[in-house]
Amino acid sequence: MGDTESQAGAAHIPVMLDRVVELLSPALSRPGAVFVDGTLGLGGHTAALLAAHPHLHAVGVDRDTTALDRSRRRLAPFADRLDLVHAEYDDIPGALDRLGRAEADAVLLDLGVSSPQLDETERGFAYSHDAPLDMRMDRSQPRTAAEVLNTYSAADLTRVLRDYGEERFAGRIAQAVVRRRAQAPLSSTRELADLVREAIPAATRRTGGNPAKRTFQALRIEVNAELDILRRALPAATGRLAVGGRIAVLSYHSLEDRMTKRHLAGLSTDTTPPGLPVPLPEASPEFRLLTRGAEPPSDDETQRNPRAASARLRAAERIRRP
């Protein structure tokens, strides 16, 4: 590993690492246990679990080939207990099938954009640097943020900004984009950030941080189909967990957390029709919740790693097969 990548790996602080290890470890202590990291990134959580469990086999999945290359080098000491897969995290069943694994004992989904993606200016994820409007997590995919901004109708742009960014001024921003691109296509992150600032009321600009934050979030979700993938990934991941297996999901905005909450709560609820004298065995919960609501990081962690501040962790354990 080169010096720069060594430093990047060392500087990268996995979010809520100790709590994730604590929650998943009871399912990973037996020989031959399989852990799937559906969003490998720089591999910090995976490295900690491999170090903690000498008989564990890990499957690292990521859509970003750059992340896979870096993790391959970082996790080289565990190479004989590790498989890396280039795929979206909704393809966890396919990844397990290709590796001849029927079930997983634990799954981690650490959602959202990774620190290296934010830090690589040319990726276009951050509004704090000027860069091309890219925002693709998987750069083999064709659709970029520039394409969305320059080809979507005003109505579709409004929908994206409202639904994925929870942006109050979605319509105003969409109309400003349409006016601007009529003169020349939008191409840079700074151009977009300035446009958003100009489009919203002056009073709003003075509070709540950078006014472009919600627009950048919305575009990133749209470009990478993040919520569509998560909607498929949650049942795909929980469906392949062994009895006693555990899932942990780290979300970074309310849309992800809401979807995760609904899915895990549905699996952890007795669905016996009301009025029956006894619960139906086939309607008993398949999972039990391991966290009380969504757990935030500690104050100490957010001070050490400000990017962890918005994280919310939910976890559950499979207690029976349907």
What's 214's domain CATH number?
A: 1.10.150.170
Do 106 and 11 fall into the same domain? yes
Indicate whether 248 and 102 sit together in one domain.
yes
Same domain, 131 and 153: yes
Q: What share of the chain is helix, strand, coil (3-state, %, to 5)?
A: 50, 15, 35
Q: What's 72's domain CATH number? A: 3.40.50.150
Instruction: Examine the domain organization and report whether 81 and 143 are in the same domain.
Output: no
Q: What is the pLDDT of residues 4-37, one digit of tens each?
A: 333 334 446 899 999 999 999 999 998 899 999 9
| Closest to 145 in 3D by CA, of 116, 172, 113, 97 | 113
Residues 176 and 211 in one domain: yes
Annotated binding site for S-adenosyl-L-methionine: 43-45, 62, 89, 110, 117
Same domain, 111 and 233: yes
**What range defines the domain where residue 180 resides?**
121-224
Same domain, 106 and 165: no
Please report the pLDDT score of residue 272 as a whole number.
81
> Rounded to whole angstroms, what are the CA distances from 161 to 61, 168, 196, 209?
29, 9, 11, 17
pLDDT in tens, 79-104: 999 999 999 999 999 999 999 999 99
My answer on whether 7 and 108 are in the same domain is yes
CA angle 281, 285, 289 (to 5 degrees): 155
- Among the three residues 205, 224, 243, which one is the final residue of a domain in this structure? 224
- Predicted local distance difference test score (pLDDT) of residue 10: 40
The pLDDT, as a whole number, for residue 61 is 96
Q: How many residues does the chain have?
A: 322
Distance CA 40, CA 114 (A): 9
In this prediction, residue 107 carries a pLDDT of: 98
Which residues in the chain come in under a pLDDT of 70?
A: 1-12, 114-121, 206-208
Domain boundary among 198, 224, 250: 224
How many domains, in total, are found in the chain? 2
Binding residues, by number, are: 43-45, 62, 89, 110, 117
